[in-house]
Amino acid sequence: EAQVTQNPRYLITVTGKKLTVTCSQNMNHEYMSWYRQDPGLGLRQIYYSMNVEVTDKGDVPEGYKVSRKEKRNFPLILESPSPNQTSLYFCASSSTHRGLRFSNTEAFFGQGTRLTVV
């Protein structure tokens, strides 16, 4: 079954304690991205990656890091979490269309990770 898997689904942590949220897809997709969803603000892109070893900032990258060492995995790293990073996080992936564009293909989203930083 085609899917994007995030772990953990729920996490409560303390300020400053480094954490990693994992994301893995089994569809051999080139494009992966992370979003956060906050009430009243909708989903906002944090980081994205168009292929292995290629990552770039989205709209709200401050306080986050990512890596893309393998095509299937795109972990989100919070080096020193703060309470304003309490949010619902989603990972997504897409393939290219005939090797050219991601915009002409569907994106698959994970089930989400609810993070609380106290």
Query: Which residues lie closer than 8 Å to 81 by C-beta, 6 or more apart?
Result: 13, 14, 15, 16, 17, 18, 19, 63, 115, 117
**Among residues 48, 60, 66, 81, the one that binds other proteins under rule CB under 8 A:** 48
Number of Cβ atoms within 10 Å of the Cβ of 55: 18
91 vs 117 by CB, closer to other proteins: 91
Regarding 38 and contact with other proteins (CB under 8 A), the answer is no
Distance of CA 85 to the CA centre of its chain: 13
Kindly determine how many residues on this chain lie close enough to bind other proteins according to the rule CB under 8 A.
25
**Among residues 42, 69, 98, 118, the one that binds other proteins under rule CB under 8 A:** 42
**Among residues 60, 110, 115, 117, the one that binds other proteins under rule CB under 8 A:** 110
Options 12-20, 21-29, 48-56, 69-77: segment touching other proteins (CB under 8 A): 48-56
Is residue 25 a contact partner of residue 72, using CB atoms and an 8 Å limit? yes
Is residue 102 a contact partner of residue 92, using CB atoms and an 8 Å limit? no
User: Minimum distance from CB of 53 to other proteins (Å)?
Assistant: 16
**Among residues 5, 19, 61, 112, the one that binds other proteins under rule CB under 8 A:** 112
